[in-house]
Every structure is written in C-alpha cells, then in structure tokens.
Chains A and B, each alone.
Chain A
Amino acid sequence: MSWEVIGIWLGALLSLCLYSFLYKDNPFYKFAEHLFVGMSAGYWVIYTIMNVLIPNWWQKLVPMEGGFQPIWLVPGVLSLFMLFRLIPKLAGLSRLSLALIVGTGAGISITAMLQTRALAQVNGTIIALGQGGGWFNWVSNIIMVTGVVCGLVYFFFSKPHKGVVGGAANIGITILMVAFGASFGYTVMARISLLIGQTQFLLFEWLPTMGIHL
C-alpha cells in the first residue's frame, strides 16, 4: 500500500468520522474534532516559527553575516509581554504589546478606510448618475443611487425615522432586503460547493482505492 493510498484512507476515514455528527454527536466525531484542533494549532505554530520568527526576527537580531542588532530585542520583548497575559501578576505588561498592535492597526486603517471604502464609494455613486447607456441603465443607476442614500439614512439613528427621514429609511431597508437576499443566495451556493468538494474526494479518490469506479 503506497503512502498516497494511506493518505487518502486517513482523509476519508476522518471525514466520515466528522460526517457522523449529522446522525448525532458521537465519540468518532469528538475524536476527529479534537484531532483537527490540535493538528491545526500545531501547523499555525510551526509556520509562525519557520516563516515569521526565524527570518523576520531571529535572523535580524543575530544576522548570519555576524554582529548583533539590539534594536530587534524590542519586538522580541514585546512578544514575550503578550504571553504574560497568561500570568495574572504580569498581565499588565501585555498592555504595552497590545498598544503597539492597536495603534499601528488603527493608524493604518484610518486612511485606508477613508480612501477605499468611503471616498471611492461615494465617488463611484456620484459618477454613476452621469453615466449614459440608454434609459434602462439610467433607471438602474437611479435605483442604485437612491438605494445607497436611503440605505445610509436607515443606518443613521441620530434622527427619529419619521416623516421624510422615515420614508427614506423605508426605501433603504427595502433595498437592503434585496441585497440580503442576494447574499443569502450566495451563502447557500458557497456551503453546497464545500459539500460538493468533499463528496468528489470520497467518490473519485477514496472509492477507487477499493476498486469502485463510478
């Protein structure tokens, strides 16, 4: 039996253990679930060591060409502080690491959010109004622009949704419902695709190892 066939059987049996949950919770499911958690965590740790810590920290702290770069002790110490969250007496030190993460992340996202999500999208909405392409496109663009404006009104809670504001919010929630419907359709599609993928594996890779060719 080749390593490839053993691998297919391992994958198939573990998959069947997990599918057994559909009947009811059972020891086979629990076994595979616990194994999955452990192995996934191990994979993450190894990749973080091999792909991040060694090349991006250790080899910069102690370069192969010699010398010692003490500045790289700073991120090393801050990483260690992060682990102190697990030691109640020292947990306060982890705030320093968190502060660096949160500050950098927040600073970088302010400009990115404004540029990509807010300004570019407002710009795209306004430009759509001036686009040609016949009456159908024009009506469609009007629906889109109205939808964006009214959708934003719906999310604006500082004014009570009454009168004109209430009317706009009503149009907004209607458009949002159509959008949520589309999202639901796509979600169904995604979930079924995942099932198709695993079924293909069982039917066309595992069954042939037993001589069953569909």
Chain B
Amino acid sequence: MSTFIEKLGNLDRRVIFVLMALAVIIPLALRMNLPIPIDQGPSMDLYNMIDALPEGSRVLLSFDYDPSTMPELQPMAIALVQQLMTKDIKIVSMALWPMGVSLGNEALIAVSDSLGREEYVDWVNLGYKTGGGVLIVRLGSDIKSVFPVDYDGNSIDDMPVMQGVNKLGDLDMIISLSAGEPGIETWVMMAGDRYNLPVGGGCTAVSAPQLYPFLATGQLIGLLGGLKGAGDYETMVRVGVENPPPGIAIAGMAAQSVAHLVIMLFIIIGNIAYLSEKKRKGGAK
C-alpha cells in the first residue's frame, strides 16, 4: 500500500497537467453554472460607491494591466464601464501600462456601441504615459500638460468630456484596474492620499491580499479581487438589467471551483505520499 502511495507521489508531471486541463475544460464545456453569492465586502463597497455618484459625474478609469492578466481584469473592465455608462457617468480613461490602452479601448468601444454612447462626449481614452507615480503627481496639478492629446493624437481642448477637467481634483473618483506596479497602490499613494481623492478598483488575485490593509484604513474604498471579484461585479451590474450580456467571469467560476478542488486533492495526495515515505524511512532506522 505504502509503495503505491509513494509511486503516486512520483507521478509524471504531464499526468498532473492533463488532469488540470480536464478540471478546467469539462466544467466549461458542460457549461456548469454555480450560483455566486455576492461578496458583502469590498466588491459591494465599490459598487455602492459608484452607484451613489450623481448622473454626469466624472470618473478617471485607469487600465493598468496587459493581456497576461486579461482573463481576470477584462471582465471587470467591461462590467465597470457598463455600470458607469448606464448611469451616464463620464469616463476619462488612461493607462499606466501601454497595452492597457488597447484593452481599455476594446471594453469602452464595445459597451459604448451597445448603449449608444459617444466618444469624446461620454468617454475618452487619453492613452499611455511613462512615469507611474511621478506622472500621477503631475496629473494632480495639471492634466493637460501630461495629456495634451488623447491616445490617437486628438486635442483634448475640444472634447466636451474634458470640459472643466484640469486636474485630478476635478474628478469625482479614481478607479484603477491593476495587475501590479504601477497600479492601484500607486494611485492610492500619489492621488488618494496626496490629493485626498476616493480610489477604488480591481486587481489580480495575486495582489489582492497585499491591498487589504488599504481597505481597512479607507485609503481604498472598494476592491474587486481576481475572477471572484469580477464575477461578483458582473452579478451586481446585471441586477435589474433586461437581457444582460453574458457574464464572462460568472461562466468561469464553476471551472474555478473544480480546479481548486483538484489542486487541493493534489496537495493532499502529495502529503500522504510524503508522510508515508517519512514513516517508512523512520521505521527503517
């Protein structure tokens, strides 16, 4: 028995890979759906904060990620843009990561087209700048010196969405979708604390635990953590909406559940094999 378990412990890694792939493919292919109980914590705080903004408010939405974390952050981007545009809140978007510009455009254009919103009137994508925190500090004193034109070279002077927006303080809220540095923590540090602005957003699951201290102090008003946060938000944004678009994150949560169980099973089998080997070696002494 012990040798069988020990052999199991030395399983070829390709077998593990196949099991892992099946744990994700089968629930997706079967379109398994599990109910997502909405997180009462940071996800709902972000939703409520945006929901409380009056119509016509202006929000800065920063796409601080690239395609490597797209499965977690892109559903958040779409759901957030959906909520903002439905409520007729104006979006001034930008990116601290260059690839965030294109990903942000994808979300903005798709939702804007579906809701009949207009570029430059209801939203604008200002594009990417280098500099991270230093750039944010400069935005705090003058946005136009950093972004004289949008991502595509159009002057921001003539854009209705930018009328009256001269510095970060003229915006009602900052939302960052962040895959690391520079990202949401940089916004908390350089805009939230320095210029006393409300900051919220979403992040990859990897960085969520490190951001909890900011939630407790109110430096972050709300946070979507990983695919679960995206699923929460998709669920909240769909409430009361007729024929809502299919949720990408919601569809993935069943596969996420099964994959977590499989990884836990791997850890348990690995540990049984380890303990069995340890016991046998101990007995042999």
Whether A112 and B193, one on each chain, are in contact in the complex, defined by CB atoms closer than 8 angstroms, is yes
What residue of chain A has the Cβ atom nearest to residue B30's Cβ? A214
Chain A contacts for B129, CB-based, 8 A: 51-52, 56
Q: Which of A26-34, A80-88, A120-128 contacts B (4 or more CB under 8 A)?
A: A120-128
- What are the 8 closest A-B residue pairs judged by CB atoms, nearest first? A197-B71, A190-B205, A124-B217, A193-B227, A47-B98, A196-B252, A189-B205, A116-B189
Q: How many A-B residue pairs have CB under 8 A?
A: 146
Report if A71 contacts B (CB, 8 A).
Answer: no
> In the complex, A43 Cα to B148 Cα: how many Å?
22
> In the complex, A160 Cα to B21 Cα: how many Å?
48
Chain B contacts for A52, CB-based, 8 A: 128-130
> Considering residues B68, B133, B210, B217, which has the most beta carbons from chain A within 10 angstroms of its beta carbon?
B217
CB distance from A191 to the nearest CB of B (A): 8
Q: Which of B33-41, B42-50, B256-264, B273-281 contacts A (4 or more CB under 8 A)?
A: B256-264
Could you say which of A55, A56, A117, A189 contacts B260, with CB atoms under 8 Å apart?
A189
Report if A209 contacts B (CB, 8 A).
Answer: no
Could you say which of A23, A47, A124 contacts B216, with CB atoms under 8 Å apart?
A124
Report if A198 contacts B (CB, 8 A).
Answer: yes
CB distance from B76 to the nearest CB of A (A): 11
Report if B164 contacts A (CB, 8 A).
Answer: no
Chain A contacts for B70, CB-based, 8 A: 197
> In the complex, A112 Cα to B128 Cα: how many Å?
23
CB distance from B131 to the nearest CB of A (A): 9
Residues of B within 8 A of A (CB): 14, 17, 20-21, 24-25, 28-29, 31, 68-72, 74, 98-99, 101, 127-130, 133-134, 137, 146-149, 151, 153, 185, 188-190, 192-194, 204-206, 208-210, 213, 216-217, 219, 225-228, 248, 251-252, 255-256, 259-260, 263
What residue of chain A has the Cβ atom nearest to residue B251's Cβ? A200
Chain A interface category by residue count = 35 or more
Residues of A within 8 A of B (CB): 22-23, 43-44, 47-48, 50-52, 54-56, 59, 104-105, 108-109, 112-113, 115-117, 120-121, 123-124, 128, 179, 182-183, 186-190, 192-200, 203, 214
